[in-house]
Amino acid sequence: MAATIIDGKQVSSDIRAEVAQDTARFKEQHGVTPGLAVVLVGEDPASQVYVRNKENACAEVGFNSFKFALPGETGEEELLKLVDELNDRADVHGILVQLPLPEQIDSNKVLYGINPDKDVDGFHPVNVGRLVIGETIFPPCTPAGIMELLKRSGTGFTGANAVIVGRSNIVGKPVALLLLAENCTVTICHSRTKDLPSVTRDADILVAAVGVPKMITGDMVGEGATVIDVGVNRTDEGLVGDVDFAAASEKARAITPVPGGVGPMTIAMLMRNTLRAAELSLPV
Ligand code: NDP
């Protein structure tokens, strides 16, 4: 039977509508408007699009957004100074520094300079630590989006075999921790994994975050699995994921398409994290 297609655009839109409602209530109760500062260094066209999308999403859910566009030759000290100023601003609840940064800037130094309570991307070591010990405040946005897609497509977690292909700090590792927190039995695969197909075939939940077009072939997917394709690969065929969608759909219970699956979720989860940051900023 053909798989159910998990519609990330729809889920993202539902979540943004929920955040908009919660934000309206929050503003009414506390007289505070959540604010997200987005810092862009240089003129990378893709980054400019991402930043514009974030500004639009902020407007949609009722946040203030503050954009700081700095020239490509900006130095590390100057950027760290701006981050410090944003850390101190009461009207800024979330800070996002758009990656990649130019090579003269040490990205980690900048990301670690963000106040962890405003780190809505969830990349600061304090927030990574919170994730590891199961006290997550700001789950990284793409992994959090994957969890929402799984939850809202009726995927069972407890005892499920979850296999993640890819071990990056922004996708593979955090999604593994989130699945573990939901009582899945988690396996993380990478480029040195032996006999990858035999591992992926056992997955009830299969997450592909590799960056290799269509590397998860139909024979690597078990009958009835839920398949989440995080990959975004530009090829001659256009945008394709890490999963051979047509072949995997023959086996899977449910599957995300590319585009229109995980991609739209990231921004929705950023909005949710920013509202959370504003809630946490209230005096106790
Ligand atoms: P990275 O390049 O940081 O990590 C890729 C991972 O895949 C590594 O752990 C690597 O293993 C593993 N890998 C590479 N080749 C193989 C192989 N042949 N077999 C098994 N494992 C392999 O990628 P990211 O996690 O940053 O991104 C993954 C994909 O997700 C990309 O296509 C990216 O564009 C996309 N993405 C999409 C987002 C969205 O919002 N939709 C957000 C972020 C990423 P090793 O560690 O051993 O090298």
Q: Do domains 31-116 and 141-255 have the same CATH topology?
A: yes
Read off the pLDDT of residues 50-61 as tens digits, 9 standing for 90 and up: 999 999 999 999
What residue segments make up the domains of the chain, in order of their start? 31-116, 141-255
Percent of the chain predicted with pLDDT > 70: 100
| CB < 8 Å & 24+ apart, contacts of 245-251 | 245/214, 246/218, 247/217, 247/218, 247/219, 247/221, 248/3, 248/216, 248/217, 248/218, 248/221, 249/2, 249/3, 249/5, 250/2, 250/3, 250/218, 251/3, 251/218, 251/221, 251/222, 251/223, 251/224, 251/225
Q: What is the number of the ligand 1 atom nearest to the C-alpha of 230?
A: 30
Cβ 171 under 6 angstroms from ligand 1 = yes
Tell me the catalytic residues.
Answer: 54, 98, 121
Q: Which of 146, 230, 239, 262 to mutate to test the pocket of ligand 1 (most atoms within 8 A of CB)?
A: 230
Cβ 208 under 6 angstroms from ligand 1 = no
Kind and range of the H or E element at 226? strand 226-229
Q: Which of 9, 148, 190, 198 to mutate to test the pocket of ligand 1 (most atoms within 8 A of CB)?
A: 190
Considering the entire predicted model, what is its pTM? 0.97
CATH superfamily of 141-255: NAD(P)-binding Rossmann-like Domain (3.40.50.720)
Read off the pLDDT of residues 228-284 as tens digits, 9 standing for 90 and up: 999 999 999 999 999 999 999 999 999 999 999 999 999 999 999 999 999 999 998
184 pLDDT above the threshold of 80: yes
What's the CATH code, domain 31-116? 3.40.50.10860
pLDDT, position 284: 86
pLDDT, position 192: 98
CA atoms within 13 A on the CB side of 124: 21
Cβ 34 under 6 angstroms from ligand 1 = no
Read off the pLDDT of residues 103-117 as tens digits, 9 standing for 90 and up: 999 999 999 999 999
Read off the pLDDT of residues 57-106 as tens digits, 9 standing for 90 and up: 999 999 999 999 999 999 999 999 999 999 999 999 999 999 999 999 99
Q: What spacing in Å lies between the alpha carbon of 200 and ligand 1's midpoint?
A: 16
